[in-house]
Amino acid sequence: MPKLMIIVGSVHEGRIALPIAQWVRRAAEADGRFDVDFADLAEIDLPLMDEPNHPRLRQYTKAHTKAWSKRVDDADAFVLCFPEYNYSYGPAIKNALDYLNAEWNRKPVGFVNWGGNSAGTRAQVALRPVVGALGLVITKGNVEINFPQQQLVDGRFEPNEQQAAVLQAQLDEMLALDQALRPLR
Ligand SMILES: Cc1cc2nc3c(=O)[nH]c(=O)nc-3n(C[C@H](O)[C@H](O)[C@H](O)COP(=O)(O)O)c2cc1C
């Protein structure tokens, strides 16, 4: 089974990223076609990118980079769960991406975004060239949620029908892209 890494891309106390990513994990596990790795950037706790060499050289000097490199290398596909901050993506997700290079290459990525009225669309658009630079291939459909706090029930994110359908389509697409990209890796 392809290994799907779900990345929790916001790290502050009380982040809604966690219940949203936990919903994605529940859906991916219920789908049954993925081996799920839940990567919470708050737990992983990467400092701001502190390697002396360009990541494409893979000459990592820090234990945290080596561990992150191994974990991302082992993954076949990614769902990035991250909010919109000031009309763009937040720092945690960009930092985690910047640490590595070849480990991301030729692997599918899906976005799950949220925000206010814009539902995180501007964050998603801003991250597109970043993942493109790393050789990640974006799924066609992506989840966008406006005012996600309204969908918390006892701390659990409860998707509406449309959000659940888009996520399921995204997982389907992820699997198809994985099969197409795997021979190229
Ligand atoms: C620094 C900061 C900037 C924000 N900027 C935007 C924004 O430009 N557009 C938007 O829709 N929401 C914005 N928000 C609201 C966030 O989408 C909202 O706080 C959301 O809960 C953040 O996700 P998180 O709790 O997982 O970090 C901003 C929040 C913060 C903390």
pLDDT in tens, 73-117: 999 999 999 999 999 999 999 999 999 999 999 999 999 999 999
From atom 15 of ligand 1, which residue's Cα is the shortest distance away? 115
Q: Is 17 in the pocket of ligand 1 (CB under 6 A)?
A: yes
The dotted CATH code for 3-184 is 3.40.50.360
* 165 has pLDDT over 90: yes
Q: Where do the domains of the chain lie?
A: 3-184
CA-CA distances (angstroms) from residue 61 to 55, 65, 132, 181?
11, 7, 26, 30
Q: What are phi and psi of 170, to 5 degrees?
A: -65, -40
Q: What is the pLDDT of residue 29?
A: 98
Q: Tell me the average pLDDT across 110-137.
A: 97
Mutate which of 18, 24, 40, 86 to test ligand 1's pocket (most atoms within 8 Å of Cβ)?
A: 86
Residue 162's contacts (CB-CB under 8 Å, 6 or more residues apart) are none
Residue 89: DSSP 8-state: E
Distance 9 CA to ligand 1 centre (A): 12
Quickly state the pLDDT bin for 55 (edges 50, 70, 90): very high
Q: What is the pLDDT of residue 140?
A: 92
Q: How far is CA 138 from the centre of its chain?
A: 11
Q: Average pLDDT, whole number, for the chain? A: 97
Mutate which of 18, 85, 122 to test ligand 1's pocket (most atoms within 8 Å of Cβ)?
A: 85
Burial of 148 (0-12, 13-18, 19+ CB in 10 A): buried
Residue found by looking up tokens 């701001």 in the block:
48
- How many Å apart are CA 106 and CA 58, to the nearest integer? 17
Quickly state the pLDDT bin for 141 (edges 50, 70, 90): confident
Distance 119 CA to ligand 1 centre (A): 10
Stated length of the chain: 185
Q: Tell me the average pLDDT across 4-17.
A: 98
